[in-house]
């Protein structure tokens, strides 16, 4: 009798030990899955510093565009003719959609997260954001009073060929594309990067088409010759 009880007790202990080992294995597996899912989230969702740095880039860009918009209103009152043809609305919709996708896709499609050297990719993206903003501001400064965020011309419109305009016709848009590339990389998600750049290129392509058509109509042969000597966005390439 005592032998049977001893066997039952030993079997019960083995069963308890087996169930305990099974529980530990399950808990560790769940922890690993949770850790992997957390690591697949974008860095700005994991770290407050990254989130604030990225947000600062968006805020600085937004403030800059608002100031440019206010300056445009002043120039329109001074006699500049707006010939936008809806391009401002197109760029607002396409870029707005691109930014929403850029911020949401990392959460929705974590499988396309940039996992290798993600911290470096994030900070490299931030550098590109501010480099793009600086280049856009430089191009705007060189163009001077002829620059407007929307397509507009003034009575004494000239072909400006100073600074970056010696090589490319739309350096302010080049600055935007560099900035969007930076925002896309800072999302640390390949799909977000493609979505933002794709939307931005669609909007900017339409703006460039409208702007060049208006300037050809307004400046004629001078602008056509300038177009033959320069590229649109990237020197010697595009």
In a domain, 237, yes or no: no
pLDDT per position as a tens digit, 29-80: 444 554 454 456 777 777 788 888 988 999 999 999 888 888 766 666 555 6
pLDDT per position as a tens digit, 66-86: 888 887 666 665 556 667 778
Domain check: are 140 and 217 in the same one? Answer: yes
Q: What angle do CA 162, 163, 169 make, to 5 degrees?
A: 75
Domain check: are 24 and 65 in the same one? Answer: no
pLDDT per position as a tens digit, 122-132: 999 999 999 99
Domain check: are 56 and 16 in the same one? Answer: no
Mean pLDDT (whole number) for 97-110: 88
Q: What is the CATH number of the domain that holds 146?
A: 1.20.120.1630
Contact 197, 184 (CB under 8 A): yes
Domain check: are 22 and 125 in the same one? Answer: no
Tokens 């087996």 sit on residue: 18
Domain check: are 200 and 113 in the same one? Answer: yes
pLDDT of residue 198: 95
Tokens 């933002």 sit on residue: 196
Among 114, 104, 119, CA closest to 195: 104
- Residue 176 and residue 148: Cα distance in Å, rounded? 15
pLDDT of residue 39: 53
Domain check: are 139 and 55 in the same one? Answer: yes
Domain check: are 21 and 136 in the same one? Answer: no
Domain check: are 219 and 118 in the same one? Answer: yes
In a domain, 17, yes or no: yes
For 201, the domain range is: 42-229
The Cα-based distances of 58 to 4, 114, 131, 162, 218 in angstroms read 75, 21, 13, 29, 35
Domain check: are 138 and 56 in the same one? Answer: yes
**Which tokens in the block code for residue 134?**
């600086």
In a domain, 90, yes or no: yes
Q: What b/e readout covers 29-40, taking b as 16+ CB neighbours within 10 angstroms?
A: eeeeeeeeeeeb
In a domain, 127, yes or no: yes
Domain check: are 74 and 6 in the same one? Answer: no
Domain check: are 88 and 34 in the same one? Answer: no
DSSP H stretches of helix in 82-189: 87-108, 118-143, 171-186
Supply the mean pLDDT for the chain. 80
Domain check: are 134 and 66 in the same one? Answer: yes
**Which tokens in the block code for residue 156?**
């004494």
- Count of domains observed in the chain: 2
Mean pLDDT (whole number) for 188-213: 92
């Amino acid at each position: 009798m005592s032998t049977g009880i001893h066997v039952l007790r030993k079997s019960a202990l083995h069963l308890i030990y087996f169930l305990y080992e099974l529980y530990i294995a399950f808990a560790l597996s769940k922890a690993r899955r949770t850790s992997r899912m957390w690591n697949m989230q974008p860095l700005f969702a994991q770290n407050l510093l990254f989130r604030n740095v990225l947000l600062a880039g968006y805020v600085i860009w937004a403030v800059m565009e608002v100031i440019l918009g206010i300056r445009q209103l002043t120039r329109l009152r001074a006699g500049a003719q707006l010939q936008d043809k809806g391009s401002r609305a197109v760029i607002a919709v396409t870029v707005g959609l691109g930014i929403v996708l850029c911020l949401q896709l990392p959460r929705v499609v974590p499988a396309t997260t940039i996992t290798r050297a993600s911290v470096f990719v994030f900070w490299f993206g931030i550098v590109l954001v501010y480099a793009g903003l600086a280049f856009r501001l430089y191009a705007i400064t060189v163009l001077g009073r002829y620059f407007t965020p929307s397509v507009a011309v003034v009575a004494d419109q000239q072909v400006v060929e100073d600074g970056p305009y010696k090589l490319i016709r739309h350096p302010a848009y080049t600055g935007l594309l560099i900035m969007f590339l930076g925002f896309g990389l800072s999302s640390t998600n390949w799909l977000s990067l493609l979505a933002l750049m794709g939307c931005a290129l669609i909007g900017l392509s339409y703006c460039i088409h409208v702007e060049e058509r208006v300037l050809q109509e307004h400046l004629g042969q001078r602008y056509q010759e300038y177009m033959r000597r320069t590229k649109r966005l990237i020197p010697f390439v595009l």
